[in-house]
């Protein structure tokens, strides 16, 4: 194994806190694990995660910045500052896209301080926000420019607190990374206004789009100002009292139908539900509210038992952008909004920190490599809003949110900057530490430094290969034993471990192999995860995919694309041959895809009649070889049909 040279490490921005990251529980929090920050976890561009982050820095983030100008978001703020007489354009919550991009820029500048263009965006936009802010601290361009008389008048639909939440998270990122000292005062003036208006003995109100709860908790963690946390808790406690009214879709859409500690199932708009759950965990661990944490875990069980796609996507209904009934998971009508996938990742991270349970890291991995990764194109400048698991032959796009191809921007552009902020902060989700050692949850080519002077170099071609090589570069100066914990994903049935080149038998406990010893510099550890092709079936109650299988390998879900079928073959007529073995290998004709799956298939002919009496008999034609590619790469080569769930040919 080649040890990384110190000179290869990208210097952090001045003022970067050691544990700088999106979620930093206070020392008193009921958190089992403590995250490593961007200053302690460094992704190298040799690995897939590192390449994604580099693409984000070089393509996605500049693309977002450019579109904030051309789409009018920045112009709206100039109008709010009295520097322009241009009409307001875009969605009434357009400010939130500015805030998310600011957050992404702060995380990126933490490890790329030399990016002058990105730094200018942060400085200029921060100054503009300060000028647009009202004297009392209020900051929202739509309600300043277009409808000042409606300020705070429509909590169910205004997104005022939602936009404020994203401002707070941007300010936290800017402060923790040392990128900007000026954004935090802007955010705090607005937060103080919220405390004054909605705090104890104030207006009893909640936001129709949860998000401010988790943001206020993080602002408290940064500043130590308890009223921010108390307000987050108050917003949670007020839910379930019908304060938002019935609205267009009913109180379940807003998660306002029952008190949060009593709810038994995830409901309504998926993004709102998931952001609310993230806030519940943040408040629970900081206040010691075990009932609130139990409720979040109970709702996790409901969501992942019967309402989550095999890709990790959430939200099965285009109407309401919502969760459906249990097992209601149609492939071609899947909504699977990109923001919901990102929110799921964030929620699972908080649950992982709170409990240390591997199942939450498993879900982070699944949604990251599939639902999140599929939402952005290989060039980093085109995006999906919804993420179906099947695109039918002859499908006609029905608007932006059901596009059959990735688009460069959206009228509701919440997803691209959300992708940007997640990818920019990605190193902060790799690993955690506690008094006993270091825990690695997501595998990538990276350098990890834990408190106490412990540094581990990780080399791997994951997720294409299951071999993870680690070297203890610095063992810590106290000479005491500590534990290196490595996650064994739930999809892995067979694995081997070696230390210093010698095999060791260590059973995984609670999803982790734990190696405890007095480590010496240069000691190597190899975790080798077996990655066979698996044919996954869904619960029989998932009617939409009964009789189908999904091909997976490691954390990746694969799919069929029209581009890999013989001319004239209709994708919906393709069947998987149950007697043929599926194998994984590199293909010379697909050089940009490290591993494809090859399987035997058949073409079925079912006749032309839409309905027939009795059982329909399919005739099978010439066998063909099926090529399945990673779902996250679909739609990059050409437009055309795609499917994850493949019907299996009848035996005999």
Tell me which residue has tokens 């301080």. 113
H or E, element range at 107: helix 95-109
Q: How far apart are CA 416 and CA 408, in angstroms?
A: 9
Helical residues (DSSP H) of 133-182, grouped into ranges:
141-145, 160-177
User: Which residues are CB-neighbours of 569 under 8 A, at least 6 positions away?
Assistant: 603, 624
Q: Are 503 and 439 in contact (CB under 8 A)?
A: no
> What is d(CA 139, CA 151) in angstroms, rounded to the nearest whole number?
11
Contact 588, 618 (CB under 8 A): no
Please name the residue ranges forming H helices in 133-242. Answer: 141-145, 160-177, 183-198, 212-223, 226-238
- Determine the Cα–Cα distance for residues 3 and 459; give it in Å rounded to an integer: 9
| CA–CA dist 180, 524 (Å, integer) | 40
What is the rounded radius of gyration, in angstroms, for the C-alpha atoms of the chain?
25
Q: Please give the Cα distance from 470 to 280 (Å, whole number).
A: 35
| Residues carrying an active site annotation | 321, 414
Query: Would you put residue 21 in left (φ > 0), alpha (ψ -120 to 50) or beta?
Result: beta
Strand order in the sheet with 454-460: 41-43, 446-450, 454-460, 467-475, 524-529, 495-499, 502-504
Q: Buried b vs exposed e over 312-331: b needs ≥16 C-beta within 10 Å?
A: bbbbbbbebbbbbeebbbbb
d(CA 345, CA 27) in angstroms, rounded, equals 23
Strands 454-460 and 431-434 come out as unpaired
Closest CA to 161 of 237, 215, 106, 123: 215
User: Which runs of E-coded beta strand occur in 461-509?
Assistant: 467-475, 482-487, 495-499, 502-504
β-pairing, 548-553 vs 619-620, is unpaired
Do 514 and 483 contact (CB within 8 A), yes or no?
A: yes
Exposed / middle / buried, residue 604 (Cβ in 10 Å: 0-12, 13-18, 19+) = middle
Contact at 8 Å (CB) between 262 and 241?
no
Neighbours of 643 (CB within 10 A): 26
Place of tokens 């300043």: 144
What does the DSSP 8-state code read for residue 643? E
Report the alpha-carbon distance of residue 21 to residue 15 in Å, rounded. Answer: 13
Q: How many Cα atoms occupy the beta-carbon half-sphere of 479 within 13 Å?
A: 0
Tally helices (H) and strands (E) across the chain.
16, 23
Q: For residues 322 and 253, is the Cβ–Cβ distance under 8 A?
A: yes
Cβ–Cβ under 8 Å, residues 621 and 603: yes
């Amino acid at each position: 194994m080649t040890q990384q040279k110190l000179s290869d490490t990208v210097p952090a921005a001045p003022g970067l806190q050691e544990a700088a990251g999106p979620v930093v529980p206070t020392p008193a929090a009921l958190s089992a694990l403590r995250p490593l920050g961007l200053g302690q976890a460094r992704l190298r561009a040799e690995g897939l995660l590192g390449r994604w982050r580099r693409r984000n820095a070089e393509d996605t983030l500049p693309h977002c910045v450019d579109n904030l100008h051309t789409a009018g978001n920045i112009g709206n703020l100039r109008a709010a500052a009295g520097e322009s007489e241009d009409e307001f354009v875009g969605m009434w919550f357009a400010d939130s896209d500015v805030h998310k991009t600011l957050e992404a820029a702060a995380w990126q500048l933490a490890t790329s301080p030399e990016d002058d263009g990105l730094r200018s965006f942060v400085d200029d936009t921060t100054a503009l926000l300060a000028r647009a802010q009202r004297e009392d601290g209020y900051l929202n361009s739509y309600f300043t420019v277009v409808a000042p008389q409606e300020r705070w008048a429509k909590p169910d639909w205004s997104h005022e607190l939602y936009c404020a939440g994203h401002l707070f998270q941007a300010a936290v990122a800017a402060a923790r990374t040392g990128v900007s000292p000026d954004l935090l005062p802007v955010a705090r003036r607005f937060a103080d206004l919220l405390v004054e208006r909605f705090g104890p003995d104030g207006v009893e109100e909640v936001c129709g789009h949860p998000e401010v709860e988790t943001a206020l908790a993080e602002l408290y963690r940064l500043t130590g100002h308890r009223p921010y946390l108390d307000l987050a808790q108050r917003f949670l406690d007020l839910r379930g009292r019908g304060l938002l009214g019935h609205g267009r879709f009913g109180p379940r859409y807003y998660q306002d139908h029952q008190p949060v500690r009593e709810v038994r199932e995830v409901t309504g708009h998926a993004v709102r539900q998931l952001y609310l759950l993230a806030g519940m965990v943040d408040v629970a661990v900081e206040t010691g509210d075990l009932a609130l944490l139990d409720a979040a875990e109970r709702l996790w069980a409901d969501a992942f038992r019967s309402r989550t796609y095999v890709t990790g996507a959430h939200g099965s209904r285009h109407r309401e952008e919502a969760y459906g009934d249990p097992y209601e998971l149609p492939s071609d009508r899947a909504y699977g909004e990109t923001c919901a996938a990102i929110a799921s990742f964030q929620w699972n991270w908080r649950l992982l920190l709170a409990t240390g349970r591997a199942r939450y890291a498993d879900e982070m991995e699944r949604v990251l490599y599939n639902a999140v990764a599929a939402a952005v194109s290989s060039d980093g400048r085109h995006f999906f809003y919804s993420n179906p698991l099947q695109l039918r032959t002859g499908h006609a796009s029905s608007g932006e949110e059901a596009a059959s191809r990735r688009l460069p921007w959206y009228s509701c552009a919440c997803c691209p900057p959300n992708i940007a902020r997640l990818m920019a902060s990605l190193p902060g989700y790799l690993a955690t530490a506690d008094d006993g050692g270091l825990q690695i949850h997501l595998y990538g080519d990276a350098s990890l430094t834990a408190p106490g002077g412990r540094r581990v170099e990780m080399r791997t071609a994951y997720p294409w290969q299951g071999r993870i090589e680690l070297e203890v570069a610095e063992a810590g100066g106290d000479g005491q034993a500590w534990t290196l914990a490595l996650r064994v994903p739930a999809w892995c049935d067979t694995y081997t471990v070696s230390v210093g080149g010698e095999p060791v038998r260590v059973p995984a406990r609670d999803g982790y192999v734990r190696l405890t010893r007095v480590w010496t510099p240069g000691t190597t550890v190899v975790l080798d995860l077996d990655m066979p092709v698996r044919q996954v079936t869904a619960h029989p109650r998932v009617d939409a995919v009964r009789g189908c299988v999904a091909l997976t390998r490691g954390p990746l879900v694969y799919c069929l694309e029209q581009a890999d079928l013989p001319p004239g073959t209709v994708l919906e007529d393709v069947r998987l041959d149950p007697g043929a073995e599926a194998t994984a290998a590199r293909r010379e004709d697909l050089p940009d895809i490290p591993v494809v799956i090859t399987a035997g298939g058949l073409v079925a002919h079912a006749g032309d009649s839409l309905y027939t009496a009795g059982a329909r008999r399919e005739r099978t034609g010439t066998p063909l070889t099926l090529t399945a590619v990673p779902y996250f790469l679909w739609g990059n080569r050409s437009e055309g049909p795609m499917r994850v769930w493949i019907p299996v040919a009848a035996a005999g």
